[in-house]
Amino acid sequence: MRDYKVYVLNGKERLLCLGITAGLAGAVSWLFYHNGCAMALSLILYLPVERTLKRHLMKKRKGELLFQFKEILQMAVTALKAGYAMENAFVHAREEFVKLYGQEAVMAREFAYINHQVKLNVTLESLLEDLAERCGIEEISSFSQVFGFAKRSGGDFLGIFQNSAEKIRQKAEIKREIEVVIAAKRMEMNIMNLVPFGILAYVGITSPEFLEPLYGNWMGIGVMTVTLVVYVFACWLSEKIVDIQV
């Protein structure tokens, strides 16, 4: 099964990377250096652009995995309360999950595999541990450990299962609320990051003589390079500020 800790860009995402890189390279070469040769040097931006996009898409996918896992656990809890056995509860939960999210949802495919393996006498706890390992999500890993311990030790299994599912639900909802709160701040950050480019473009178009001394000589290139480095550092710092981990 798929390892969700590794993200491989598809063709469309690679084209997006190339488009972003070309746009940035063109903006940097024209606004900071007025030199076409700088365009070629700026193409090294592809690697950080690709890494940033991968990190963003990985974070988005993990959030979606946790949300779907939370949903299927809630459905399994409902099935257990209705009197289903544990293995059958996950079969029923997947059926209900598919009605809402479709066959192509990640957890629909994962639990189709899990339910099939259970029929082949593979233990449910080992399958959940495997899923947790491939997802690399703390909440799923914690649940798989609690689930395995509860299965081995007995006791109030339904209570333990329900309590663990509720904690995952609460944490998933808190994460979503935080993402909504910081979405506006992230938009403000992106706008502020574009302001220096806007200022340079405005001055370069309306009053090119003000920036002329900075182009075509080594001193001007040095000044613009230092400015560019400071700008990149500021963008990196702003990203760290809004990257809140729960």
pLDDT digits (tens, 9 = 90+) for 21-68: 888 888 888 888 887 776 776 678 888 888 888 988 898 898 889 989
**112 compared with 31, residue with greater pLDDT:** 112
Lowest mean pLDDT among 109-123, 128-142, 173-187: 173-187
pLDDT digits (tens, 9 = 90+) for 150-175: 777 766 677 878 888 888 888 888 88
Q: Is 152 in contact with 174 (CB distance < 8 Å)?
A: no
Count of other CB atoms within 10 angstroms of residue 212: 12
Residue 115 phi, psi dihedral angles, 5° rounding:
-65, -35
Question: pLDDT tens, 206-239?
Answer: 888 888 888 878 888 888 889 889 988 988 888 8
Write the CA distances from 25 to 46, 142, 221, integer angstroms. 9, 44, 16
pTM attached to this predicted model: 0.80
Comparing CA positions, the residue from 148, 176, 144, 163 lying closest to residue 67 is 176
CA-wise closest residue to 72 among 35, 36, 97: 97
Helix (H) or strand (E) holding 40: helix 37-42
In the block, which residue shows the tokens 């299962």?
161
Residue 136 three-state SS: coil
* CA–CA dist 70, 74 (Å, integer): 6
pLDDT of residue 7: 86
Q: What share of the chain is helix, strand, coil (3-state, %, to 5)?
A: 85, 0, 15
Model confidence at 244: pLDDT above 70: no
